[in-house]
Structure 1
Amino acid sequence: MTTDASFMASNTPLDPSRTPADTSLETVSTADNALQASAANSLLASPNTLMLNDLLNDKDTPWQVHNCKIIDKSVTQEQLLPFIYHYDALSDELKQLHPLTGNLLKQFQTPMSAQQAAQLLGLEAALVPTPWMVKVTGTLVMFCERLQIALRLKFTNTAKDYDPVYTTTAEKAVEASMQDWNFYGDIFVLNKGNKPLVMTLDHDWIEIPQLAEYQLLPGEYGLAALALLEESKSHITNLEDAINQRLI
């Protein structure tokens, strides 16, 4: 695994306020910076250079899904929820009969079961539904065989500890919760192709070296890639199929 420092290539422009150097070392350094800037410009302008941003946006890039795994699938009705969740699940008629005043407001964030919420409201237990609490996490690899580029990713149904879902069965709860799944966390990129690969971010960029191992996409570049993946996941058709097959 390479470090972030070795992973990143800088395109920082030369400081225009710097005065000409009097020593040979400073002269050599200035020349080196100029050569690096020239090489960077050539890399970005080269028609052979691939842009990861474009590949993630391009509907015609033939991404395949490999090694999709469910790491955790928890579906329970035993988890406690803040009182406000149970209150929000009430019918409008019951909310009008039991407005949030006095002691109820004090219990706003108190974790409790649906049965305890019913007791607090003075209702029959059947009138306060008990949700299924769903948490799904998994991993997968998106791979473009033609370009020999891959991304190792993590996905989940929710960024919270659990997603409360009001359905009749656990199976329907998982299905409903996974309607809005998303990628999260670190992104690792594998570039085994024969073309340079870069990713841009505003006025900056990084080069992703051609190596036989995955490399962490650092900092804001990882966040930008997550945003691009969220925009693109609907047209990568086998993403949904691969995840659903593992959930069954």
Structure 2
Amino acid sequence: MNTDFPAPNLQASHLSLTDAPKLTADPNTLILNDLLTNDTPWQIHNCKIIDKSISQDEKLPFLYHYDALSDDIKSAHPLTAELLKQFQTPMFAADAAKLIGISKDLVKTPWQVKVTGTLVMFCDRLQIALRLKFTNTAKDRDPIYTQNKAEALQASMQDWHFYGDVFVLNKGTQPLVVTAEDEWMALERLEGYQALPAQYALTILALLEDQKPQLTQLQEAIELRLV
């Protein structure tokens, strides 16, 4: 199955909403939601890291620096009204240490990591594929406290998640539908990818998040690209 990602064929897809009985009348109809939660054999293809940013040169809000302190230091230097005013102020670790009144060696400088990527999940037997985006954080960067850059990168992707648009490629011979909040939509058999409308995309992303522990091949594919 060719799962390369041409420009989505949005205009030609003719995605249509209709009643469930009509869409599922054919006993051969496949429901995408079910395919992601049963024993359908999914493979991972074309996993790519699109952006990988790791730095210790960015400021963080004061609250991040304070939260990372040991309990002993926090007890010795409790939050004051003046410190609370600075909670959202971006600063370097050394500046936070000066503000608290402690040695700069006591305030760790985290690695700030942002990773985004794409991958394709496909079932060759059914000729169905999903084009997905993943990231380590919805924020601009995620502060990671580790000894070195490599450890920070690995640690940042232990809790990655899918986000954004979901594209579906349907080249199979069986009817394919997707459901979200009691609404149903047919996914036509096309040569190109079809973009799911927002409500369906969110439903599929939520299902995939729940299924990540069972879909261990996802983690394996991403970790291979991080090296």
TM-score (normalised: structure 2):
0.93
1:57 matched residue in structure 2: 37
Larger Rg: 1
State whether residues 13 and 188 of structure 2, in contact with CA within 8 Å, keep that contact through their aligned partners in structure 1. Answer: no
Unpaired segments ≥5 residues, structure 1: 12-39
Over 3 Å counting, the alpha-carbon distance change for 1:148 and 1:90 in structure 2 is: same
Residues 129-173 of structure 1, C-alpha deviations (whole Å, 9 max, x = no match): 110101110000001000000000000011111110111001111
CA apart distance, 1:105: 1.1
1:7 matched residue in structure 2: 15
One-letter amino acid of the structure 1 residue matched with residue 26 of structure 2: S
Over 3 Å counting, the alpha-carbon distance change for 1:166 and 1:42 in structure 2 is: same
Say if 2:206 is the partner of 1:206. no
Q: How does 1:107-122 map to 2 (within 5 A)?
A: 107-122=86-101
Over 3 Å counting, the alpha-carbon distance change for 1:5 and 1:65 in structure 2 is: closer
Which of 225, 229, 232 does residue 211 from structure 2 map onto?
232
CA apart distance, 1:7: 1.1
1:67 matched residue in structure 2: 46
1:35 matched residue in structure 2: none
State whether residues 4 and 218 of structure 1, in contact with CA within 8 Å, keep that contact through their aligned partners in structure 2. Answer: no
- Aligned-pair identity (%): 61
CA apart distance, 1:72: 0.7
2:175 matched residue in structure 1: 196
CA apart distance, 1:10: 2.4
Residues 180-234 of structure 1, C-alpha deviations (whole Å, 9 max, x = no match): 0000000000000001000112321000000000000102100000000111122
> Could you tell me how far apart the structure 2 residues matched to 1:9 and 1:88 are?
48
> Could you tell me how far apart the structure 1 residues matched to 2:167 and 2:22 are?
26
Count of residue correspondences? 219
> Could you tell me how far apart the structure 1 residues matched to 2:70 and 2:220 are?
36
State whether residues 53 and 225 of structure 1, in contact with CA within 8 Å, keep that contact through their aligned partners in structure 2. Answer: yes
State whether residues 13 and 194 of structure 2, in contact with CA within 8 Å, keep that contact through their aligned partners in structure 1. Answer: no
* Root-mean-square deviation (Å): 1.4
> Could you tell me how far apart the structure 2 residues matched to 1:141 and 1:219 are?
19
Q: How does 1:85-164 map to 2 (within 5 A)?
A: 85-164=64-143
Unpaired segments ≥5 residues, structure 2: 1-8
